Chains A and B, each alone.
Chain A
Amino acid sequence: MFKTVPKRIKEIRFGLISPKEYRKMSVTRVITADTYDDDGFPIEMGLMDPRMGVIDPGLRCKTCGGRAGECPGHFGHVELIAPVIHVGFAKLIRKILRATCRECSALLLDSNQKKKYLEQIRTMRKMGQPIEDITNEVFKEARKPKICMYCGAGQLDIKVEKPSTYVEKMGDHDHKLMPSDIRVRLEKISNEDIEVIGMDPNNARPEWVILTVLPVPPVTMRPSITLESGQRSEDDLTHKLVDIIRINQRFQENREAGAPQLIIEDLWELLQYHVTTFMDNAVSGVPPARHRSGRPLKTLSQRLKGKEGRFRGSLSGKRVNFSARTVISPDPNLSVSEVGVPLSIAMEMTIPVYVTKRNIEQVREYIRRGPDNHPGANYIERSDRRRIKVTDSNCEEMAETVELGWKIDRQLKNGDIVLFNRQPSLHRMSIMAHNVKVLPHKTFRLNPAVCPPYNADFDGDEMNMHVLQTEEARAEAMMLIHVQENILSPRFGGPIIGGIHDHISGMYLLTRGDSRLSKSEILDMLSKTKIEELSEPAGEVDGKPYWTGKQAVSHILPSGLNMAYKAGICEDCDTCKEENCELDAYVLVKDGQLLSGTIEEKAVGAFKGLIVDKIIKDYGSARGLQFINDATMLGIKGIMHYGFSFGISDEDIPNEASIQISELLGEAEDRVMNLILVYNEGNLEPLPGRTVDETLELKIMQELGKARDSTGNIAGKYLGLENAAVVMAVSGARGSMLNLTQMAGCVGQQAVRGERIKRGYEGRTLSNFHTGDLGAAAHGFVKNSYKSGLSPTEYFFHAIGGREGLVDTAVRTSQSGYLQRRLVNALQDLEVQYDGTVRDTRGMVVQFRYGEDGIDPMKSEFSKPQAIKWIIESVTSKEVE
């Protein structure tokens, strides 16, 4: 087998281009500032010289013979009459002028110093370390001598007038250094000295930062646009080059005519200005060159810099066609795999259809409907690749003329497959393929059950849609990234899509205890699902048949399903009573019939969803998708049947409960005071490895924590299992018992960095307390509940604790985002081969077995080796330890 190892870039060298090289790479010298002659042909040796590349279709490049699009373009050059400074190097020129002798251009350091610095630079280079620190020191040292140690010439101070004027101080009058003077000085610097200032004399002679030749970028880089009126409009760069060449010519004429020094200097400065703004039109101290309209010109550095520049705007990020973006909103009546697309978007986005014998009648119908009658067609491409826009007026005629081999752009319609994405795209489930459902209004609609993989909510989130353009892409999307193929997360081998919020509350209400439904009720329950046959009733009361809520769920389970597990509401009794559990926490499914247990988050929820997981692994992803659809529909019907609301009065607890809570808190505070007393007497026994102070803090925290938890228990007891907040917390739909405790019982200790609040004034947190008060209230214990309301000091402490939480999340997201970026960059090329090894692009082995065990986590049972356990369970219908 022949293997080629890809070549590696060994090094990249940066340097300056010499005038000689500029001339060598130039295909023509540009001498006239004109672009096109009266007939519209480019002028030879003008700015649009055809040797510098072609932009007009049909013409050929005079240098390489390529057509427009093939020819990359070629540089030309302008011979500058007088040298000018390159603004990008103004700082370097300043540093070099100050560090070298004004007469002999020697670097003003003695030979020992030079040797020392050169040595340092070479070792740093060898180690691949930056040399800036050393060269900066060289410049700093070489600036100091007042007299040249080589030729004895006195050194003068050099002042810089921004951006690129250098002035020597000669006694009381100033002498301006012209670029030509500077160039002479730079030319005289010896190769040895150049190395000491960190430059490479072969690649970057310092005098090359003073331009004597200006390269003219190829035409392809500054294309002119022909307006509809036939007028040509030139690129900003061309405008700037015109300015440079004009001034260059005038300069030459004036100098040859022997114009006075003053005029020459003025023209020189003007030339400098134009060359400066050609490089960078945002140099401080230079008024930006403007277009006739007053708009600043976009010159070379503006093309590269910033968010919309070449790097961030064009290379790291690009825009694509066939994509749409809008706000998302929920629609529980859609299937999980569907996406609701606004009609206005569907009419804009198209799918190419090739006309064949089989579909020509269909195609005719699309064209006949035209662009304004969804689903119609927007464009027709004939076999000679000419595109015709379908309009209201030509659609009838086009429908008749359409031929085999043509292509039409058909509007998006129901059932089409599209990619749907929400940033940040952190994992593969951030982009999934959905089926289109065209709907009125202006938002993308999606089933709330697919929110977890996208991490989406509806507080104004926007999402992107991409329409696939080829048959291959659509097939691939269907098989690899369709929603149903992504229900199981490759992160932990469980479902990431499942019921959320109301779906879970609804299922819980429907299945707990022995809820009974009449015939019309159960039919209503199942009306949104795909179930078409009703099972036998569970029994009869007063001659009327009834069904249980568990039977309703049994309808949507696949027949033959066997499962047994302990639900999330299980309290881990010492001996499990299984089917006879008082809490109805033992879920038992036999042959697709739910015999006992309550359906809640652990059964159908996103991230947990044991039943969803089991169905996908035993019956396939399509059945899994149908189950999620049915379960969410049933859940919503269930919650609507029982009714579900939560208000402030749901946190009401009876008077006796409030009294119990305040007594409990009072006792806890007494115990804290007692601890402080013991501490003050010096009798507190320190815990192992702790100081006495730490021990006190720990014990107080422990005491108050216990107190808060018991208030929660009291509140929970009085609220009862019918309370909506309790239902949500117990079923796992939303919220927790802790949230409930804080609402009805006691908010508890506020903490900063895991400790009681200590900061504030000297010895106390607020001026409301005595200095040295160690009590609960003085250090952020909130004994009120959110319902009863916080006291001013409690409110303040709560704000402190809340702020810390906000800061933490902000810091964590940015840090973990960067960490993930670095990991992805390092690992993106690794691939699991067919032999189970993990290798990089060169074929180097990274792991001999993927993950050391060769297991695909997506196909594992919640990342645990449980396959055999599951098989036993599904055969015996008993939970196995």
Chain B
Amino acid sequence: MVGGSNPSEPVFYIFKGMNKVMKGTKSFSLLDHNIVPHHLLLSENEASQVLKKYNIDKEQLPKIKVKEPVILEIGGQVGDIVKIIRTSKTAGEAEFYRLVIE
């Protein structure tokens, strides 16, 4: 669009019973999908260690919304830090951290 535009709110589709056993199907976890990277909730202790390691505030971390399906799946709350382990072309496996926000 000419002049640029502000991105609108992202849409999250929340299916009823996403975390429940659907009729006639086995329950599934998003994390089992091979292109969804592994997400881990950090404990308070671990989180503060991460912040100390990089010498940063929580706010300086990349963000992720609570409504994001993976965060719903692992039950993250606003203010939590998640550790993401991605497969990387250069390093094999790479660690990322994100702050859960509203």
Q: Which of B20-28, B70-78, B89-97 contacts A (4 or more CB under 8 A)?
A: B89-97
8 A Cβ contacts from A120-160 to B: 127-130
8 A Cβ contacts from A825-873 to B: 835, 837, 839, 842-846, 848-849, 851-855
| A843: B residues at CB distance < 8 A | 56, 60
Bound-complex Cα distance A852 to B85 (A) = 11
Q: Is B54 part of the contact surface with A, judged by Cβ < 8 Å?
A: yes
8 A Cβ contacts from B3-61 to A: 3, 5-6, 8, 54-56, 60-61
7 residue pairs from A and B, CB less than 8 Å apart: A129-B5, A839-B60, A842-B60, A844-B62, A845-B97, A848-B54, A851-B91
Determine whether the beta carbon of B91 is less than 8 Å from that of A853. yes
Bound-complex Cα distance A839 to B60 (A) = 9
Q: How far is the CB of B84 from chain A (nearest CB, A)?
A: 10
| B90: A residues at CB distance < 8 A | 851-853, 855
12 other A-B residue contacts (CB within 8 Å) besides A835-B54, A845-B60, A849-B94 = A1-B55, A127-B5, A129-B5, A835-B55, A839-B60, A842-B60, A845-B54, A848-B96, A849-B91, A852-B88, A852-B91, A853-B90
Bound-complex Cα distance A835 to B62 (A) = 17
Using CB atoms, name the residue of chain A closest to B88. Answer: A852
Q: A128-B5, A128-B6 are in contact. Are A852 and B62 (CB under 8 A)?
A: no
Using CB atoms, name the residue of chain B closest to A130. Answer: B3
Interface string of A237-271 (1 = CB under 8 A from B): 00000000000000000000000000000000000
Determine whether the beta carbon of B54 is less than 8 Å from that of A852. no
Q: A127-B8, A851-B90, A852-B88 are in contact. Are A846 and B60 (CB under 8 A)?
A: no
Determine whether the beta carbon of A853 is less than 8 Å from that of B56. no
Most chain B beta-carbon contacts within 10 A, residue among A128, A835, A846, A852: A852
Bound-complex Cα distance A305 to B81 (A) = 51
Tell me which of A837, A842, A851 contacts B54 (CB under 8 A): A837
| B94: A residues at CB distance < 8 A | 848-849, 852-853
Using CB atoms, name the residue of chain B closest to A843. Answer: B60
Q: How far is the CB of B65 from chain A (nearest CB, A)?
A: 17
| B97: A residues at CB distance < 8 A | 845, 848
Question: What 7 pairs across the A-B complex have the smallest Cβ distances?
Answer: A853-B91, A852-B94, A128-B6, A853-B90, A852-B88, A852-B91, A844-B60
- Give the A-binding residues of B (Cβ under 8 A): 2-3, 5-6, 8, 54-56, 60-62, 86, 88-91, 94-97
Using CB atoms, name the residue of chain A closest to B84. Answer: A848
Bound-complex Cα distance A849 to B91 (A) = 10
| A1: B residues at CB distance < 8 A | 55
8 A Cβ contacts from A1-34 to B: 1
| B5: A residues at CB distance < 8 A | 127-129
Determine whether the beta carbon of B88 is less than 8 Å from that of A845. no
| A845: B residues at CB distance < 8 A | 54, 56, 60-62, 97
| B96: A residues at CB distance < 8 A | 848
Bound-complex Cα distance A852 to B2 (A) = 35
Bound-complex Cα distance A128 to B9 (A) = 13
Using CB atoms, name the residue of chain B closest to A1. Answer: B55
Bound-complex Cα distance A845 to B62 (A) = 6
Bound-complex Cα distance A853 to B89 (A) = 9
Bound-complex Cα distance A842 to B56 (A) = 11
| B62: A residues at CB distance < 8 A | 844-846
Bound-complex Cα distance A42 to B43 (A) = 75
Most chain B beta-carbon contacts within 10 A, residue among A1, A842, A844: A844
Q: How far is the CB of B62 from chain A (nearest CB, A)?
A: 6
Bound-complex Cα distance A837 to B8 (A) = 30
Using CB atoms, name the residue of chain B closest to A851. Answer: B90
| A128: B residues at CB distance < 8 A | 5-6
Bound-complex Cα distance A130 to B88 (A) = 41
Bound-complex Cα distance A559 to B18 (A) = 68
Q: How far is the CB of A485 from chain B (nearest CB, A)?
A: 24
Bound-complex Cα distance A472 to B8 (A) = 49
Q: How far is the CB of A492 from chain B (nearest CB, A)?
A: 13
Using CB atoms, name the residue of chain A closest to B8. Answer: A127
| A846: B residues at CB distance < 8 A | 62
| B6: A residues at CB distance < 8 A | 127-128
Bound-complex Cα distance A835 to B55 (A) = 10
Bound-complex Cα distance A86 to B94 (A) = 61
Bound-complex Cα distance A852 to B62 (A) = 15
Most chain A beta-carbon contacts within 10 A, residue among B8, B60, B89: B60
Q: How far is the CB of A868 from chain B (nearest CB, A)?
A: 16
Bound-complex Cα distance A854 to B95 (A) = 12
| A127: B residues at CB distance < 8 A | 5-6, 8
Determine whether the beta carbon of A848 is less than 8 Å from that of B95. yes
Bound-complex Cα distance A17 to B60 (A) = 41
Q: How far is the CB of B100 from chain A (nearest CB, A)?
A: 15
Bound-complex Cα distance A851 to B94 (A) = 10
Q: How far is the CB of A694 from chain B (nearest CB, A)?
A: 32
Using CB atoms, name the residue of chain B closest to A846. Answer: B62
Bound-complex Cα distance A837 to B97 (A) = 12
Bound-complex Cα distance A855 to B86 (A) = 17
| B60: A residues at CB distance < 8 A | 839, 842-845
Bound-complex Cα distance A744 to B5 (A) = 57
Bound-complex Cα distance A592 to B61 (A) = 51
Q: How far is the CB of B73 from chain A (nearest CB, A)?
A: 23
Determine whether the beta carbon of B3 is less than 8 Å from that of A853. no
Bound-complex Cα distance A852 to B87 (A) = 10
| B61: A residues at CB distance < 8 A | 844-845
Bound-complex Cα distance A127 to B62 (A) = 25
Using CB atoms, name the residue of chain A closest to B2. Answer: A130
Interface string of A70-91 (1 = CB under 8 A from B): 0000000000000000000000
Bound-complex Cα distance A846 to B2 (A) = 28
Bound-complex Cα distance A129 to B91 (A) = 42
| A852: B residues at CB distance < 8 A | 86, 88-91, 94
Bound-complex Cα distance A263 to B86 (A) = 83
Bound-complex Cα distance A410 to B34 (A) = 68
Using CB atoms, name the residue of chain B closest to A5. Answer: B59
Bound-complex Cα distance A848 to B88 (A) = 13
Bound-complex Cα distance A721 to B6 (A) = 63
Bound-complex Cα distance A129 to B1 (A) = 10
Q: How far is the CB of A162 from chain B (nearest CB, A)?
A: 27
Bound-complex Cα distance A128 to B5 (A) = 7
| B54: A residues at CB distance < 8 A | 835, 837, 845, 848
Q: How far is the CB of B70 from chain A (nearest CB, A)?
A: 18
Q: How far is the CB of B29 from chain A (nearest CB, A)?
A: 25
Bound-complex Cα distance A849 to B3 (A) = 35
Determine whether the beta carbon of A853 is less than 8 Å from that of B88. yes
Bound-complex Cα distance A129 to B2 (A) = 10
Bound-complex Cα distance A131 to B94 (A) = 45
Q: How far is the CB of B27 from chain A (nearest CB, A)?
A: 33
Bound-complex Cα distance A130 to B1 (A) = 10
| B86: A residues at CB distance < 8 A | 852
Using CB atoms, name the residue of chain A closest to B94. Answer: A852
| A130: B residues at CB distance < 8 A | 2-3
Bound-complex Cα distance A876 to B47 (A) = 48
Bound-complex Cα distance A835 to B91 (A) = 17
Q: How far is the CB of A632 from chain B (nearest CB, A)?
A: 34
| B89: A residues at CB distance < 8 A | 852
Bound-complex Cα distance A845 to B81 (A) = 14
Using CB atoms, name the residue of chain A closest to B61. Answer: A845
| B91: A residues at CB distance < 8 A | 849, 851-854
Bound-complex Cα distance A848 to B61 (A) = 9
Bound-complex Cα distance A128 to B91 (A) = 41
Bound-complex Cα distance A130 to B60 (A) = 32
Q: How far is the CB of A415 from chain B (nearest CB, A)?
A: 42
| A839: B residues at CB distance < 8 A | 60
Bound-complex Cα distance A15 to B62 (A) = 37
